């Protein structure tokens, strides 16, 4: 098939295109109303269709005779466990857990928060919610109790599903005590905490709201999937915005299923029955879409990997998993490859494994640098495909559509627009930018199916954040340019969001925490280059003249405060004390300038700067401390 004509069809006649694609999934009621505009001039897909994600992921395949096919391979080097879970077994686990949730009063339209490590019960919990029409909100394990409490207060879950603990490289993550802390801190109190006790070890603290997961499943009856409107929210996934408060992206049901099914065939080039591995975490959008829903809808065996690219036990672990489980297509973040490359620069581990099952290696989550792309291509000898998308889109927006036509790969580009996405580079005034000219990446409405419905209980923020900047377009928050062949190059965020190891974080949120320290007069937090993680946050603080603690103590306390409030995932390790911050005459801190000086990019000193001398002061602070900070980037050994 040829990419250009397939893509143009999706843009010129979106309704016909997506109606055809919607036939690839099963509906309890087929949609007739394909595309509709709501009162906010935003579009919804398949309004009158009815389906259920849990049905599509499980029951349909059993009905079609694939009950004994493996649905999930759980591979956990951190616990030395491998488990093969068939669709029949998945059905048993999910339908009984759904019965348990129902017995606790959870029903269609309720919300349920899931805070779990990478264990099968995390997937069971998501699919059990989807079975009942309960809207789940999965929170990544690297977030601290305070972040959990913020999300509990925002989505008001009837129940929280968690596990006793998770296992990181160096330590045990005490999930249940974190949930207890969050329950204390939040104003809204969920009715129950359903606890999966991993080792059946007695808990030190049992709360009145605790329900034992295994007991609940044992005593409950299986339930059937509920018929849901296509536009019924399947989940809320919080992501960082430009303010201190995360935003709850809402996903629909039927549009999502259609888009995911489409993407498996045409973007990832995977056939039904093959093995697919999204090496991410269920707490991120990559995990929602490409560990859980897309592979299972497409009747692929999904790999659930509880480990890291290195140190579990070493940099060979990815290649062992691909070879042992015959993975056809894999998706990971460039950071993971950089970590492996650092430990095994010549690919000695790779040579020990038979990777002949692998057709494509996909990369996403952050910009892929040329060296990482080249190394991966040289080592794996399969097409290495960078592709770009976001929590908001739910599935790829730019890619090389491997299942349609594999186009030449251009280093530095995340490819061409995926079907359904009319991607434009706009200038300041919303006019298309010329080829090779950097601008704002926006997508002409309507977005294709599967993209965000709204922000949970905050339509104002949704409109302001995405739709108002360029009327008629969805604004992605990323900058970039298109070359003369239509390849798009993403250059990075144009707002205060940073990307650390493929994790999206808000510097505004970090600034709120840093500035709340009693000895801090003002501060700026921004992302600087990191060899391993792409970016890392750096805080510059100006102290109050009469500060109480020593500078060293203040630096340590600030680092601890961010870790405690946001979590270890923030990777916030560096605070520098400066005399003043560079500002415009109107008092705006020049963060971009601070970042550019730190990264030694060329920078222009804005004519609006209040006092040029500050630049020399900042440079001298950087010069004194940067060797230490950059060495830390290399601390992975």
| Identity of the residue, 280 or 302, whose beta carbon is nearer to ligand AMP in the bound complex | 280
281 near ligand COA (CB under 6 A): yes
Contact in structure between 458 and 153 (CB atoms under 8 Å): no
Contact pattern from residue 529 through residue 568 relative to ligand COA, giving x for each residue in contact according to CB under 6 A and a dash for the rest: ---------------------------------------x
Q: What is the contact surface with ligand AMP in residues (CB under 6 A)?
A: 239, 285, 364-367, 386-388, 390-391, 414, 476-478, 490, 493, 499, 504
State in angstroms the smallest separation of the CB of 548 from ligand COA: 27
Name the binder of 308 from ligand COA, ligand AMP, none, CB < 5-8 A by kind: ligand COA
Q: Which of residues 444-503 bind ligand COA (CB under 6 A)?
A: 501-502
Q: How many residues bind ligand COA (CB under 6 A)?
A: 25
State in angstroms the smallest separation of the CB of 457 from ligand COA: 26
State in angstroms the smallest separation of the CB of 176 from ligand AMP: 26
Q: Which of 94, 97, 55, 90 is nearest to 74 (CA)?
A: 90
Residue 34 CB-half CA count within 13 A: 14
State in angstroms the smallest separation of the CB of 101 from ligand AMP: 28
Q: Which of residues 40-59 bind ligand COA (CB under 6 A)?
A: none
Signed CA dihedral, 72, 139, 249, 468: sign only: negative
Q: Which of 14, 6, 16, 45 is nearest to 416 (CA)?
A: 6
- Cβ-Cβ contacts under 8 Å for 637 (sequence gap 6 or more): 342, 343
The residue within the footprint of ligand COA, chosen from 335, 376, 393, 499 (CB under 6 A), is: 335
State in angstroms the smallest separation of the CB of 364 from ligand COA: 6
Name the binder of 542 from ligand COA, ligand AMP, none, CB < 5-8 A by kind: none
Rounded to whole angstroms, how far apart are CA atoms 598 and 252?
A: 42
165 near ligand COA (CB under 6 A): no
| Identity of the residue, 339 or 455, whose beta carbon is nearer to ligand COA in the bound complex | 339
Strand 247-251 to 235-239 pairing: antiparallel
571 near ligand COA (CB under 6 A): yes
Which residue has tokens 């600034």? Answer: 511
Strand 166-167 to 159-163 pairing: unpaired
DSSP designation for 292: I
145 near ligand COA (CB under 6 A): no
Query: Rounded to the nearest 5 degrees, what angle is found at the Cα of 188, between the Cα atoms of 183 and 192?
Result: 55
Name the binder of 341 from ligand AMP, ligand COA, none, CB < 5-8 A by kind: none
106 torsion bin: left (phi>0), alpha (psi -120 to 50), beta (else): beta
Q: Which of residues 351-410 bind ligand COA (CB under 6 A)?
A: 364-365
Rounded to whole angstroms, how far apart are CA atoms 545 and 98?
A: 58
The residue within the footprint of ligand COA, chosen from 149, 160, 336, 540 (CB under 6 A), is: 336
Q: Using DSSP, state whether 235 is helix, strand or coil.
A: strand
Token duo for residue 584: 């415009």
| Identity of the residue, 120 or 465, whose beta carbon is nearer to ligand AMP in the bound complex | 465
State in angstroms the smallest separation of the CB of 149 from ligand COA: 17
State in angstroms the smallest separation of the CB of 368 from ligand AMP: 6
Name the binder of 501 from ligand COA, ligand AMP, none, CB < 5-8 A by kind: ligand COA
Rounded to whole angstroms, how far apart are CA atoms 448 and 159?
A: 32
Strand 497-500 to 329-332 pairing: unpaired
Which residue has tokens 């029949």? Answer: 88
| Identity of the residue, 298 or 390, whose beta carbon is nearer to ligand AMP in the bound complex | 390
| Identity of the residue, 116 or 593, whose beta carbon is nearer to ligand COA in the bound complex | 116
Three-state SS annotation for 360-394: EEEECCCCCCHHHHHHHHHHHCCCEEECECCCCCC
193 near ligand COA (CB under 6 A): no
Signed CA dihedral, 523, 528, 530, 533: sign only: positive
Contact in structure between 366 and 335 (CB atoms under 8 Å): yes
Rounded to whole angstroms, how far apart are CA atoms 494 and 175?
A: 34
121 near ligand COA (CB under 6 A): no
State in angstroms the smallest separation of the CB of 569 from ligand COA: 4
Name the binder of 521 from ligand AMP, ligand COA, none, CB < 5-8 A by kind: none
Q: How many CB atoms lie within 10 A of CB 634?
A: 11
State in angstroms the smallest separation of the CB of 576 from ligand AMP: 25
Token duo for residue 433: 């930018």
Rounded to whole angstroms, how far apart are CA atoms 613 and 543?
A: 19
DSSP designation for 432: B
The residue within the footprint of ligand COA, chosen from 309, 446, 449, 539 (CB under 6 A), is: 309
The residue within the footprint of ligand COA, chosen from 99, 166, 190, 446 (CB under 6 A), is: 166
State in angstroms the smallest separation of the CB of 235 from ligand AMP: 14
Q: Which residues bind ligand COA (CB under 6 A)?
A: 141-142, 166, 168-169, 173, 280-281, 284, 286, 308-310, 332-333, 335-336, 339, 364-365, 501-502, 568-569, 571
């Amino acid at each position: 098939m040829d990419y250009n004509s397939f893509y143009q069809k999706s843009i010129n006649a979106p309704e016909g295109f997506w109606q055809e694609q919607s036939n690839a999934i099963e509906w309890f009621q087929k949609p007739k109303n394909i595309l509709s505009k709501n009162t906010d001039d935003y579009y919804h897909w398949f309004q009158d269709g009815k389906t259920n994600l849990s049905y599509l992921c499980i029951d349909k395949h059993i009905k079609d005779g694939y009950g004994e096919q493996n649905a999930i391979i759980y591979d956990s080097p951190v616990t030395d466990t491998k488990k093969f879970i068939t669709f029949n077994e998945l059905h048993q686990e999910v339908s009984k857990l759904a019965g348990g949730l129902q017995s606790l009063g959870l029903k269609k339209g309720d919300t349920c928060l899931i805070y779990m490590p990478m264990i099968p019960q995390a997937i069971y919990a998501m699919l059990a919610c989807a079975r009942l029409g309960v809207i789940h909100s999965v929170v990544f394990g690297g977030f601290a109790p305070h972040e959990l409490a913020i999300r509990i207060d925002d989505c008001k879950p009837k129940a929280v599903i968690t596990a006793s603990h998770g296992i990181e490289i160096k330590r045990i993550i005490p999930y249940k005590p974190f949930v207890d802390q969050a329950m204390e801190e939040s104003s809204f109190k969920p009715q129950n905490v359903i606890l999966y006790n991993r080792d059946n070890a007695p808990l030190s603290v049992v709360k009145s709201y605790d329900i034992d997961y295994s007991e609940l499943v044992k005593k409950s009856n299986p339930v059937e999937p509920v018929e849901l409107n296509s536009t019924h929210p399947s989940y809320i996934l919080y992501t960082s915005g430009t303010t201190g408060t995360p935003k709850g992206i809402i996903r629909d049901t039927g549009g999502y299923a259609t888009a995911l099914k489409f993407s498996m065939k045409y973007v990832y080039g995977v056939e039904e029955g093959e093995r697919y591995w999204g090496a991410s975490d269920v707490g991120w959008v990559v995990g929602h879409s490409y560990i859980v829903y897309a592979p299972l809808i497409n009747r692929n065996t999904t790999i659930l990997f509880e480990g890291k690219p290195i140190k579990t036990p070493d940099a060979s672990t990815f290649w062992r998993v691909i070879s042992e489980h015959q993975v056809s297509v894999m998706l990971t973040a460039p950071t993971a490859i950089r970590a492996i490359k650092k430990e095994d620069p010549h690919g000695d581990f790779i040579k020990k494994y038979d990777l002949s099952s692998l057709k494509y290696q996909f990369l996403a989550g952050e910009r892929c640098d040329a060296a990482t792309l080249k190394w991966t291509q040289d080592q794996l000898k399969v097409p290495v495909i960078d592709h770009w998308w976001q929590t908001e889109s739910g599935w790829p927006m730019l890619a090389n559509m491997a299942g349609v036509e594999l186009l030449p790969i251009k280093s530095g580009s995340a490819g061409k627009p995926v079907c359904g996405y009319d991607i434009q580079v706009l200038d300041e005034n919303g006019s298309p930018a010329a080829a090779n000219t950097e601008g704002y990446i926006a997508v002409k409405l309507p977005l294709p199916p599967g993209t965000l419905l709204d922000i949970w209980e905050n339509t104002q923020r949704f409109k302001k954040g995405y739709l108002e900047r360029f009327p008629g377009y969805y604004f992605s928050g990323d900058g970039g340019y298109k070359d003369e062949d239509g390849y798009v190059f993403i250059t990075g965020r144009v707002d205060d969001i940073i990307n650390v190891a493929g994790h999206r974080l808000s510097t505004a949120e970090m600034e709120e925490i840093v500035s709340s320290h009693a000895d801090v007069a003002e501060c700026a937090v921004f992302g600087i280059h990191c060899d391993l993680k792409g970016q890392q946050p750096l805080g510059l603080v100006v102290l109050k003249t009469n500060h109480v603690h020593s500078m060293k103590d203040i630096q340590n306390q600030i680092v601890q405060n961010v870790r405690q409030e946001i979590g270890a995932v923030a990777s916030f390790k560096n605070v520098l004390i400066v005399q003043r911050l560079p500002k415009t005459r109107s008092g705006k801190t020049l963060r971009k300038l601070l970042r550019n000086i730190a990264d030694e990019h060329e920078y222009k000193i804005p004519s609006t700067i209040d006092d040029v001398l500050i630049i020399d002061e900042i440079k001298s602070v950087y010069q004194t401390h940067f060797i230490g900070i950059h060495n830390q980037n290399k601390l992975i050994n």
